[in-house]
Structure 1
Amino acid sequence: MENFRQPRDIAQVLLSVLFLALMIVACLWIVRPFILGFAWAGTVVVATWPVLLYLQRLLWGRRSLAVLVMTLLLVLLFVIPIALLVNSIVDGSGPLIHAVTGGEMTLPALDWLNGVPLVGAKIYAGWHNLLDMGGTAIMAKLRPYIGTTTTWFVGQAAHIGRFMMHCALMLLFSALLYWRGEQVALGIRHFACRLAAQRGDAAVLLAAQAIRAVALGVVVTALVQAVLGGIGLAVTGVPYATLLTVVMLLCCLAQLGPLLVLVPAIIWLYWSGDTTPGTVLLVWSCVVGMLDNVIRPMLIRMGADLPLILILSGVIGGLIAFGMIGLFIGPVLLAVSWRLFSAWVQEVPAPDNEPVAIPEALARTKGEEA
């Protein structure tokens, strides 16, 4: 019996693919305003899902009460502080931008160096020699770049309306995901299995681990250190404490630590003669700086360890691409991609440790075939 194979209709295949592509693009275009909010909510829900289950057990097994408590906690501990922080940056950044761009910011004279024993006078003389040789000209050349950078960072926070819209969407989607989390997770795993069978299911689980690692080991640690450091700056009377707190949050998210902001603030307090607040901030900075070594290992064990350069690239790239929300979404996207890529590479054994022998073996194989 002969089996006649039907010829493939190329036009039908092309039109089917084109129709599916148009439908996918149209759907993405429609949900485009909600993508960032949903991604943010997914990160929050995946990271805090064990807390929801714990609250549900405490509240007599009532999922509705647990969802209500978690939503209120997100509002009180996350949305309101960030909104107040962004609003304070917008209100208090005007004098700083004017000082930077208007030429009022100059290099300091550092007269206090004369009081430092042994080396103070030499450092003071060297500093003023640098100023005499063109320190003012150097500052004049750097001022436009400093002003542009400062204005850009403040401009990212100035989109407070869009930011609050994403916060509202994050709360709405978080409540929905808390309410139907098991069904949503099962649907995502089912779709992944349809695409790549068991590998697809494993990819979803690895992505969840990466999200939890970033949210707990990076974001939570950075928020705790930045808030405590900001409290220390405000109590000791350091000017622009709100703006410095945001810079400290960026440094902590980028794994650079809060001391890049706190140490110059301590030096400024001693320089201005406020030795008591400077000593208080010095002791407080030691506590805040050591929190990283206490909180991070405990939280990282709940997720997965990630490379430093990946987190740094995610923070900076996310801020440039998505604004303030990118501080949280950028590292998550790179972490998920890195975990999936790493799992895919490790499916095959590592190459031989002696790369010199590989070309020789290949040459022998070609010679035998010839």
Structure 2
Amino acid sequence: MDISTPAQVRARVALAAAIALGALWIGAAFVPAVLWAGVVTIAVEPLRRRILARWPGHNTLAACLITLAVLLVVVVPLVAAVSRAVVEAQSVALWLAEARAHGVPVPLWVATLPYGSAEITAWWNSHLLTAAAASEQIGRLDTDLLVTQSRSLTHSIVRRAVVFAFTIVVLFFLIRDRDAVVQQLERGAERGFGDAGIRLGRQIFASVRGTVDGLVLLGLAQGILMAVIYGFAGVPHPILMGLLSGVASMVPFGLVAILLIALLLLVVNGAITAAIVVGILAFVLNFVIDHFLRPGLIGGTTRLPFVWVLIGIVGGVETIGLLGLFVGPAVMAALVLIWREWVADGDIGAEDEHASASA
């Protein structure tokens, strides 16, 4: 049996830390992909258990089915949105060409505005009504800036596509080997931090699950309801607008941007009353979800006051983007758990002696 000296132990720890930092530095670009795969793995665990209950021992089959489902859920709406964007871009290009050739007449909805109708009409007649005026206004667009932005957008799309492909690969292996990965993580947490490490890890998992339920599931439900409202109100492309509303509702105050676009489309079409009704219904729906349903789902699972959940969500999005929606509340939940155990009697992470005696 080898007996290491204290110097050798310190050297091994330093070597392990250096290797870990080196690996993190090399794979830094794919850390978001790994985190996304981890979030999705935690979210789909109930589905995985149902599949394995039906076909015990078929971990690979469960991983294949769930990964394919996730791929379809992401890719199909994305392809539909891109296709619609291409069609809309062609329509915009044709509109610009028509405007430069013949000018743009004043829209009918301008005359229905309660205020500012005369001012808008006068500006429109002098800047867009004739072909020469419209051509001058459109010609002011900075073509060099548009080319630069399009190149940057193309590079961003390619990069995100690579990260997404890597996420799908990691997701498959995480789902297939989920039990082994969890056992290793719990073993490592126990060796490093004792029982407190295991509780901390489980709290993080529960926080991610609660955040997924509170954001994603409620966001999808809100998107469906908004699509129905848009459809009855006559908003163009109600299904697409509902999908965008559902996704935007996951981000604090994100629904406001999509709602303003929908209301603007209604106003442009002259449906002022419909715009007012849609605005009121959307406000009421968003108020109920944000102040009653979402705090109950997220706060109840994470054991956090909703103000801390909100700080985690907003701060997470501000710091690391969309991934912060799920990572932020998990970090806040871990911090609050550590604080609660720190201010409790006994060592941090130790079970309460009175609770243990009563048990």
TM-score range, shorter chain: 0.5 to 0.7
Alignment of structure 1 residues 168-183 onto 2, 5 Å: 168-183=165-180
TM-score by length of 1: 0.63
Any idea what SS the aligned residue of 1:238 has?
coil
Q: How many Å separate the matches in 2 of 1:185 and 1:75?
A: 24
Amino acid at match of 1:124: G
Q: How many Å separate the matches in 2 of 1:240 and 1:13?
A: 63
Identity %: 20
Q: How many Å separate the matches in 2 of 1:189 and 1:314?
A: 25
Q: How many Å separate the matches in 1 of 2:319 and 2:89?
A: 23
> Does structure 1 retain, via aligned residues, the 8 Å contact 2:251–2:325?
no
2:312 equivalent in structure 1? 310
CA 1:152–1:338 in structure 2 vs 1: closer, same or farther (change >3 Å)? Answer: farther
Task: Give per-residue Cα distances to partners, 1:206-233, cap 9 Å, x unaligned.
Answer: 1101111222211333344346646876
1:347 equivalent in structure 2? 341
Question: What is the count of residue pairs matched by the alignment?
Answer: 314
Q: How many Å separate the matches in 1 of 2:46 and 2:201?
A: 18
2:40 equivalent in structure 1? 44
Give 1:188 deviation, angstroms.
0.4
1:335 corresponds to which of 321, 329, 334: 329
1:265 corresponds to which of 253, 257, 262: 262
2:353 equivalent in structure 1? none
Amino acid at match of 1:314: G
> Does structure 2 retain, via aligned residues, the 8 Å contact 1:52–1:70?
yes
Any idea what SS the aligned residue of 1:255 has?
coil
Q: How many Å separate the matches in 2 of 1:33 and 1:94?
A: 35
Q: How many Å separate the matches in 2 of 1:62 and 1:262?
A: 45
Give 1:57 deviation, angstroms.
2.0
> Does structure 1 retain, via aligned residues, the 8 Å contact 2:39–2:208?
yes
CA 1:264–1:166 in structure 2 vs 1: closer, same or farther (change >3 Å)? Answer: closer
Give 1:190 deviation, angstroms.
0.7
CA 1:114–1:88 in structure 2 vs 1: closer, same or farther (change >3 Å)? Answer: closer
Q: Which has the higher contact order (CA 8 A, sep 6+)?
A: 1
Q: How many Å separate the matches in 2 of 1:216 and 1:225?
A: 13
Where do 5+ consecutive residues of structure 1 fail to align? 1-6, 132-139, 320-326, 351-370
2:24 equivalent in structure 1? 28
Q: How many Å separate the matches in 1 of 2:151 and 2:301?
A: 33
CA RMSD of aligned residues (A): 5.0
More deviation in 224-233 or 212-221? 224-233
Q: How many Å separate the matches in 2 of 1:349 and 1:15?
A: 35
1:207 equivalent in structure 2? 204
More deviation in 170-179 or 78-87? 78-87
Q: How many Å separate the matches in 2 of 1:152 and 1:205?
A: 43
CA 1:15–1:296 in structure 2 vs 1: closer, same or farther (change >3 Å)? Answer: closer
> Does structure 1 retain, via aligned residues, the 8 Å contact 2:41–2:174?
yes
CA 1:61–1:190 in structure 2 vs 1: closer, same or farther (change >3 Å)? Answer: closer
2:116 equivalent in structure 1? 124
1:357 equivalent in structure 2? none
Task: Give per-residue Cα distances to partners, 1:221-265, cap 9 Å, x unaligned.
Answer: 3344346646876894638996x6786466412222635422442
Amino acid at match of 1:311: I
Q: How many Å separate the matches in 1 of 2:44 and 2:229?
A: 28
2:71 corresponds to which of 72, 75, 80: 75
Any idea what SS the aligned residue of 1:173 has?
helix
More deviation in 190-199 or 211-220? 211-220
1:362 equivalent in structure 2? none
Give 1:203 deviation, angstroms.
1.0
CA 1:16–1:85 in structure 2 vs 1: closer, same or farther (change >3 Å)? Answer: same
> Does structure 2 retain, via aligned residues, the 8 Å contact 1:89–1:154?
no
CA 1:278–1:65 in structure 2 vs 1: closer, same or farther (change >3 Å)? Answer: same
